[in-house]
Structure 1
Amino acid sequence: MPGRTSSRRDVIVVGAGWSGLIAAKTYLDLAPETDLQIIDSETSIGGVWCTDRLYPDLYAQVSHPLFEYSFYDMPKEGITEDGFISGYTINKYLTSFARDFKLEELVRFESTVTEVDQTLSGAWILTVADGYQIECAKLIWAVGPGSSPVQPTWPKDHFSCPVIHSSDTGKNLELISQAKRVTVVGAAKSAFDTAYFLTKAGKEVDWIIRENGGGPIAMGPPTLLGIWNTVDGLSTRAMAMFSPSIMNTSGFWYNAIHRTPIGRMIAGAYWRTANFLADYAAGYDANDDFKELQPTPRGSGMFWARAGLGAPSAPDFWKTLHSGKLHVHRSEIESLSHINVVNLNNDTAVQTDLIIACTGFEKPYRPFSLELRKELGLTYDETEAIKWAKLHAKAEAKIDELLPMLKSNTPKVDTANDSIQQVLRGPNRHYRRLIPLKQIAKNERSICFPGLVHVIFTPTVSEFQALWNAAYLLGMINPPDLDTVEDEIATFNAWTKKRHLEMGQKHAYCIFDYLSYIDTLAKDLGIEPRRKNSALAEMFMRYKPSDYRGMLDEFKASQKAKMGKTVQRPVARSDRSMLRALHTSHS
């Protein structure tokens, strides 16, 4: 065991955001005697919505009441007339949730995990930045995709202006208020939000987006035909049916839309219409600067979402950007010089008072050694390349057969100048996007990775993942045989790469397909996925978190029916017994 541990717990949850909080609560619901602790690097509850990350005009993309846990209503205070939810409202909601369910007292704040080790006996040892160590029998790594900023560096020659990452905007409001001209780097949703925030504050903005790669994120229209909120529409099965999802390949509507030429023609018309409405709402044709913000491929950027998908998260989003002093440069920074000059590789130079790097986040796995990353499916083991190549080839053939829309006219993926290190690339090789393959092979049940599926409806997905993880870790549900598990992993990863191009090459991305993902988890748990009271409502009414209210009791009932008796609490004691045994074996 490396060093002396300062404490021991049954379960450690790393992360106090949407995923971590519900993971902790759900585990304690199923095993209330568990000695559980939450560790978080921030100073407050919320994850990406913690106090230090908030700033004015920061809103969620999802409207009220679609952005909450199923059993804990979000108050309407602080929500705009259009239903947009401010970052401050979300922070207050999560803080109240943690207090009401006595989770806040379990959190160790300002504790960045710098190293994760596993002993030969299977226990996990976490080392925190201050040297503090914690040992646990089970580890829930709920850090999420927005916790490890990618901070670029450039050659400097007498350059003195500050450079910050977009995740630190909330900590630098005074600095930003003093700037008159700001350089924004990147093309993700955070770049759009930052440009909106700056132009609304009256700043002149130089927005730098590299020419290659996936380009700007696709931004959906605020509404469809001025009637339906676009993001609300994503929560309906009717809209989800038009997306070719490997998790939804049966039933009348799948066969009608995806297995017939006329169905695919209708689906194509739907996506062209959605793309036209998105382009029209954004006003990409207004001037040369806005033309550079149009996602590619032109005419189908919404469908592929190759660099990701976002939605205007404020009522005056596009109006503010168009009315501001916004200059878009499709280039890259070559160097920084002369106190305040940004030199681009197209021989352009712009002056600046501040640079905000909206350059995204790397996967939060650096605390794990490379050997552990391979063991846990967090990066790809080159010794297994041939095996996985065969599995992926088989999976691609299956996808081409089941989802013909993805077989033809697929744009080429641009990987030139990829800034993400290979060891941190690729969708995880995790069953149900949660459990490492080798953990299943060993029946170890000691670690899981929630929160890394890229979706818009984070609270609902987090709630299902939390219940699935807790049930798995406590031995209440079992995965299928290893061959089936491998096929499931390969099929999903091959699908997300074909479906979302550059974005799918990096992440488990299912932005249009979260309902079919939830359906899959629900069926595993013995929970009824279809929650509406009629076929018409099931297809066309939006799915709200409250539709899943009672899912925990439903799971317990399914367990009771399956086992012939109630789920017993001593499972949590077995965690403690396991930890004592592990400690004794290597102390």
Structure 2
Amino acid sequence: MKLMVLGAGKSAADVVYEGVKNGKEVHWVIRTTGTGPSFFASARGKGPFKNAFEAAHTRVIASLGPSIFNSENRWTNFLQHSQLGRFLVEQVLAKQDQAIRNEADYHGRDKTKGFDQLEYDTPFFWQNGPGGLIHHDDFWDIISSNVYIHRDQVKSLDKNLARLDGGEELACDALVCGTGWTPSLKFFDNEQLSSLGLPVPLDNEPREVSQLWEKLFHEADREICSRFPMLANPPTHPHQKTGTTTYRLYQGMAPIENSSILFLNHLNTGNKMLAAEAQAIWAVAYFDKQIKLPSKEDMEKSIATWVAFSRRRYLSNGELGNSINFESITYVDALLAEIGLSAHEKEWRKQWFEPFQPSDLGKAWAEYLQKHGHR
């Protein structure tokens, strides 16, 4: 059986791997009009950490990158606002990027099936496209030895045949699209989408509204570039624009003009479960009227800052203004701080070097319920 897999991200990679393991001839097609191949990092842990995910959920690691949610302290100021601090961060990031490329060994393996075409275009720090962790020790050996790689578009499909734009015709018994998904908000009409701060086709937004937000975004972008010089000059990269407006939700959840509804987990983030649970606590506090919200003007500025940061930090991935891929921990800390919760905090050594655990959010829930009389 001949299997074609379309897509560049983790879901496509998993299907490709399982296809080979089950004896299929696999062709992996990555379109040229997207952001290119994904980076795939090892999931193995180092030092005291069981895996890479655990290490990434320490505040010391979370503090390395520029984040609008980082608390201002000597450590983050040193890392982001001094030349020496930025140099050290850039060295750490470059070392990690090189480690990812070295493990894959894109140019040292058999290239007869196109393996070298899997090398990602933009350094992993920028997250211009989807990325993921590799959970199989033999992943790269399996892919390089068995999988045919094509950087091309699928032009047409016929019975047991796929034609690519470049002229290749590939025998194909099954096609799997590992191309992700698009959140559907089609149960709202365009006027409702706009009023709720949700993405709406660009042509459907009133000109005066567009001009207001573009002014806010422009001002916020200048602030982000000044605050985080690392983000001011992104590398050359394949960029994809979106045909809609951005998300315009306070704290990624709350419409400015309607306090009767929240939108949870409409985020691109490295740990959706952690973010969703923290958002749930924030949502309860919001509807309990236990959060002192800023003025409308300050909420607009906060949203504009988030959108500007998302676009600068995550390039194509940040176009919708809702990407905080490496900011899960600092985002959760910011939400809990706004509610006035501190039970999840630990003594300084554990606070900085111990992974953020689900039990920490359990403590935050218990603190909130005790403070506000819930039974």
The two structures have a TM-score, normalised by structure 1, of 0.59
Q: Which digits, 9 at most, give the CA deviation of each residue in 1:121-158, with x for residues without a partner?
A: xxxxxxxxxxxxxxxxxxxxxxxxxxxxxxxxxxxxxx
Q: In structure 2, what is the equivalent of residue 165 of structure 1?
A: none
Pick one of 203, 216, 229 that aligns with 1:391: 216
Q: In structure 1, what is the equivalent of residue 160 of structure 2?
A: 340
Find the aligned partners of 1:546 and 1:256 in 2 and give their Cα distance. Answer: 31
CA drift of 1:203 comes to 1.2
Find the aligned partners of 1:226 and 1:208 in 2 and give their Cα distance. Answer: 37
- Partner of 1:436, secondary structure, is coil
Q: In structure 1, what is the equivalent of residue 280 of structure 2?
A: 466
Pick one of 348, 362, 366 that aligns with 2:182: 362
Find the aligned partners of 1:287 and 1:390 in 2 and give their Cα distance. Answer: 51
CA drift of 1:548 comes to 2.7
Find the aligned partners of 1:426 and 1:527 in 2 and give their Cα distance. Answer: 33
Pick one of 214, 223, 228 that aligns with 1:403: 228
Give the AA of the match of 1:344: L
Give the AA of the match of 1:183: M
Find the aligned partners of 1:248 and 1:183 in 2 and give their Cα distance. Answer: 43
Find the aligned partners of 2:220 and 2:343 in 1 and give their Cα distance. Answer: 26
Q: In structure 2, what is the equivalent of residue 185 of structure 1?
A: 6
- Which residues of 2 match residues 436-515 of structure 1 at below 5 A? 436-439=255-258, 445-506=259-320, 508-515=322-329
Q: Which digits, 9 at most, give the CA deviation of each residue in 1:297-351, with x for residues without a partner?
A: 2xx2x1111002211134443343344x2011000011123x2111100111111
Change (3 A) 1:349 1:413: closer
Q: Determine which structure has more spread, i.e. the larger CA radius of gyration.
A: 1
Q: In structure 2, what is the equivalent of residue 262 of structure 1?
A: 84
Structure in which a larger fraction of residues adopt strand = 1
Q: In structure 2, what is the equivalent of residue 6 of structure 1?
A: none
Contact 2:344 2:363 in 1 (8 A): no
Find the aligned partners of 2:121 and 2:371 in 1 and give their Cα distance. Answer: 46
Pick one of 149, 152, 170 that aligns with 1:331: 152
Contact 2:93 2:125 in 1 (8 A): yes
Give the AA of the match of 1:273: K
Change (3 A) 1:327 1:529: farther
Pick one of 247, 250, 254 that aligns with 1:431: 250
Change (3 A) 1:411 1:245: farther
Contact 1:400 1:407 in 2 (8 A): yes
Contact 2:8 2:178 in 1 (8 A): yes
Find the aligned partners of 1:518 and 1:340 in 2 and give their Cα distance. Answer: 49
Give the AA of the match of 1:350: L
Give the AA of the match of 2:87: M
Pick one of 305, 326, 339 that aligns with 1:525: 339
CA drift of 1:378 comes to 1.2
Identity, % of aligned positions:
27
- Partner of 2:257, secondary structure, is helix
Q: Which digits, 9 at most, give the CA deviation of each residue in 1:145-198, with x for residues without a partner?
A: xxxxxxxxxxxxxxxxxxxxxxxxxxxxxxxxxxx1111111122111111221
Contact 2:344 2:360 in 1 (8 A): no
Contact 1:448 1:469 in 2 (8 A): yes
Find the aligned partners of 1:379 and 1:459 in 2 and give their Cα distance. Answer: 23
Contact 2:70 2:76 in 1 (8 A): yes
Q: Which digits, 9 at most, give the CA deviation of each residue in 1:559-579, with x for residues without a partner?
A: 4xxxxxx35x8xxxxxxxxxx
Find the aligned partners of 1:294 and 1:434 in 2 and give their Cα distance. Answer: 36
CA drift of 1:389 comes to 0.7
Give the AA of the match of 1:185: L
Q: In structure 2, what is the equivalent of residue 376 of structure 1?
A: 196
Q: In structure 2, what is the equivalent of residue 539 of structure 1?
A: 352
CA drift of 1:237 comes to 1.3
- Which residues of 2 match residues 158-197 of structure 1 at below 5 A? 180-197=1-18
Give the AA of the match of 2:271: F
Find the aligned partners of 2:141 and 2:228 in 1 and give their Cα distance. Answer: 38
> Would you identify which runs of 4 or more consecutive aligned residues in structure 1 move more than 4 Å?
224-228
Contact 2:35 2:128 in 1 (8 A): yes
Find the aligned partners of 1:227 and 1:386 in 2 and give their Cα distance. Answer: 51
Contact 2:306 2:321 in 1 (8 A): no
Counting matched residue pairs gives 366
Change (3 A) 1:307 1:507: farther
Change (3 A) 1:313 1:550: same
Find the aligned partners of 2:139 and 2:359 in 1 and give their Cα distance. Answer: 29
What residue ranges of structure 1 are gaps of 5+ in the alignment?
A: 1-179, 440-444, 560-565, 570-587
Contact 1:530 1:538 in 2 (8 A): no
- Partner of 1:206, secondary structure, is strand
Task: Name the Cα RMSD after superposition.
Answer: 2.1
Give the AA of the match of 2:181: F
Find the aligned partners of 2:197 and 2:134 in 1 and give their Cα distance. Answer: 35
Q: Which digits, 9 at most, give the CA deviation of each residue in 1:188-246, with x for residues without a partner?
A: 22111111221221211111111232112222233366875322221011211221111
What residue ranges of structure 2 are gaps of 5+ in the alignment?
A: none
Find the aligned partners of 1:480 and 1:503 in 2 and give their Cα distance. Answer: 28
Find the aligned partners of 2:214 and 2:357 in 1 and give their Cα distance. Answer: 39
- Partner of 2:36, secondary structure, is coil
CA drift of 1:249 comes to 5.3
- Partner of 1:447, secondary structure, is coil
Q: In structure 1, what is the equivalent of residue 58 of structure 2?
A: 236
Find the aligned partners of 1:218 and 1:409 in 2 and give their Cα distance. Answer: 17
Give the AA of the match of 1:496: S
Change (3 A) 1:211 1:506: same
Find the aligned partners of 1:243 and 1:278 in 2 and give their Cα distance. Answer: 18
Q: In structure 2, what is the equivalent of residue 202 of structure 1?
A: 23
CA drift of 1:400 comes to 0.8
- Partner of 1:272, secondary structure, is helix
